[in-house]
Structure 1
Amino acid sequence: MDVNKSERAVTLKDIAEASGVSISTVSRILDDRYPPSQTENAVRVRRIAEQLGYRRNVYASGLRRRESGLIGVLVPRLTDAVMSLMFEAIERAARSRGMFAIVSTCGDDADSQAEVVESLLDRNVDGIILATARVDDAIPERLRQRRLPHVLVLRSDNASPTVTGDDVLGGYLAARHLIDLGHTNIAVVTGPTFTSSAHGRVNGARRALTEASLDLPNDNIIFTGYGIEAGEDAAKELLNRENRPTAIFAANDNLAIGVAHYAAQLDIKLGPDLSIVGYNDIPLVEKLSVPLTSVRVPFDHIAEKAVDMLREENPHSATTSFIPTLIPRKSTARPRGKS
């Protein structure tokens, strides 16, 4: 058979005839669920398939295995840089494993989340990755009851399979950095009370302060949203006090940007007058006029583990945590008056 690209769709039979092997042999060699064989025969079959212009029919092969090759990803919103970074990492991890990730947004409304999950399931996704798990979210429990494959990322409900950064350690590293610079009056601005990440980062900061024999008064902890405006509002409360903090750990980079923006309105200089640590280390923060110290979260490692866990036949329910890293920049410095 002449090995030329045809105008019609190339089939396994075409490749088998060109290669002189059986259709089942071609199917096995081209099945990307397994590591590619490097035998002479396998290399020749893959080369002929490429020359013929063969494209694997993911949908048809999925039907045969009762798989679609699709992963559903649920995020609150894609305008949040962290959610965008997380989805992009999941999409890369899925694609490298011969799968395809589709994303849906649902905001923070429980009914909307449930509706979007059902919509993804109606599209025959093989499983769902949830970046929306609230501590009071009923969706993971429903998925567990229906034995539907799912993995939580960045947040935990202490029951479903979960992959996250170590929020407690991240909060500890942020506060420890500020303590080591000589700060004693430290405040924490964190996310909504319904998120495990908000509580974990506060708990880590509190642990670091306790170890240093420092207090973290309740009025120095502000639970709010994860947006820039929420950071501005928190800064208004903290920076207009007579005994304002000399350092703020903002448990999200957007919060940190909001705090920094309001501080600039008061002519408070980042570093010397007010140290700020953010969280997640989104690409923007190192480009700011005063580059932001931030706790870096390994999104790619989290995504790869989540996709692999989703593909397991019986995924365990334990939480896998990856170690975050503190990235110091100019937004943190020793407080004035301390050498």
Structure 2
Amino acid sequence: MEPAAPGSSVTLRDVAAASGVSLSTASRALDERGTASRSAAAAHVRKVAEELGYRRNSFASSLRRGETRTLGVLVPRLSDTVMALMFEELERAASDRGYFAMVATSGDDPEDERRAAETLLDRNVDGLIMATARLDDELPRRLRERGVAHALVLRTDGVSPSALGDDEVGGYLAVRHLIDLGHRDIAVVTGPSFTSTGISRLAGARRALDEAGITLPDEWQLAVGYGIESGFSAGESLLDSNTVRRPSAVFAANDNLAMGLIAAAHRHHVTVGADLALVGYNDIPLSSRLSTPLTSVHVPLDQIAGNAIDLIVNPGKEPRIRKSMPTLIPRESSGSPRHSSTPDHA
């Protein structure tokens, strides 16, 4: 079968005629929305369409249905590993459902976020997915008031549709692991107090400590940023040789914080996994490749992405806030069980 000559336009009717099927059968076989039919007839139609050089005008088709089959994704920055991984999963989940995802970055300024959201909405996206973090963010409320389809991802304000990991359970698993290894001198380094992730992971950590009858000293509870530099600063504070007492274990509420703590530990001649047990959060790919592989709480980003997309494309289904269960991945950084609760450092 000869492909169409350059400049010619192969129509759906041409494909149907060449395939020996009706126009409606050809249309269903070539519909890119949802899961493609695996029937022999559909496979034959797709093969003929490819040989003829047929290209479906999905944009025109979508406009006829009053939709563009595109979703806007708003993230603070793509230099953050978790944000980049999250967007990849959202893009994959959108494609599986016949949608295309486009991303815009907003930084941390609310006005920049608003402009980025409006830029995406000007492209007539069918909905917005937002991974921006602040609990005091006004954008979700404004979108609700305007009736704009949207979902929050990796965080929640408790009102808008949201897809995230169960951060309280994750914080609990991290600290429970350290307690089960025999630690009682445990510090907790969380993200900013204006984030649902920081609040929930701290709540889970506190629940584990309370169950074990362990008090968290104020100086061992640090709410900082989520970057490596913040982890380094926290480590400097916790591991300074001039402090009266050092923790024997630290829960860092993301892997960037944990890596910053590792750098600070190295500077203070503290060996992670031997002198200091450390647990991170998110289980980014680098975690298992560090010189001392990092124990971390794994978050199922693929499941979260699918939930976020479904909250927009199937808006009537409940629940509106969907939490996926995290799991703890033990590695060398949390060390071996301790036979005594006495800290290694005075």
TM-score tier after normalising by the smaller chain length: over 0.9
Q: CA deviation at 1:9?
A: 3.9
**Residue number in structure 2 paired with 1:192:** 192
Q: Given the alignment, which residue of 263, 266, 277 partners 1:264?
A: 266
**Residue number in structure 2 paired with 1:159:** 159
Instruction: Give me the whole-angstrom Cα distance separating, in 2, the residues matched to 1:212 and 1:45.
Output: 64
Give unmatched runs, 5+ long, in structure 2. Answer: 342-346
Q: CA deviation at 1:114?
A: 0.6
2:135 aligned counterpart, secondary structure: coil
Alignment of 1:1-339 (within 5 A): 4-7=3-6, 8-39=8-39, 41-240=41-240, 241-314=243-316, 316=318, 318-334=320-336, 338=340
Q: CA deviation at 1:110?
A: 0.7
Q: CA deviation at 1:38?
A: 4.8
Aligned CA distance change for structure 1 residues 28 and 320 (closer, same or farther; 3 Å): same
Instruction: Give me the whole-angstrom Cα distance separating, in 2, the residues matched to 1:286 and 1:324.
Output: 17
Instruction: Give me the whole-angstrom Cα distance separating, in 2, the residues matched to 1:130 and 1:46.
Output: 36
2:175 aligned counterpart, secondary structure: helix
Deviations 1:194-242 (A, max 9, x none): 1100010000000001111111233221111100000011111111222
Moved more, 76-85 or 97-106: 97-106
Matched to 2:295, the amino acid is: T
Question: Aligned-residue CA RMSD in angstroms?
Answer: 1.8
Instruction: Give me the whole-angstrom Cα distance separating, in 2, the residues matched to 1:6 and 1:184.
Output: 75
Count of equivalent residues: 338
Q: CA deviation at 1:48?
A: 1.6
Matched to 1:265, the amino acid is: R
Instruction: Give me the whole-angstrom Cα distance separating, in 2, the residues matched to 1:334 and 1:43.
Output: 55
Q: CA deviation at 1:336?
A: 6.4
1:156 aligned counterpart, secondary structure: coil
Instruction: Give me the whole-angstrom Cα distance separating, in 1, the residues matched to 2:248 and 2:337.
Output: 7
Instruction: Give me the whole-angstrom Cα distance separating, in 2, the residues matched to 1:191 and 1:200.
Output: 10
Moved more, 16-25 or 65-74: 16-25
Instruction: Give me the whole-angstrom Cα distance separating, in 1, the residues matched to 2:244 and 2:51.
Output: 74
Matched to 1:150, the amino acid is: H
The normalised TM-score by structure 1 is 0.94
Instruction: Give me the whole-angstrom Cα distance separating, in 2, the residues matched to 1:221 and 1:209.
Output: 12
Matched to 1:4, the amino acid is: P
Deviations 1:16-45 (A, max 9, x none): 232344434422332233544455543432
CA contact (8 A) 1:133 1:152 kept: no
Deviations 1:135-167 (A, max 9, x none): 111111111111111111110000011111110
Matched to 1:128, the amino acid is: L
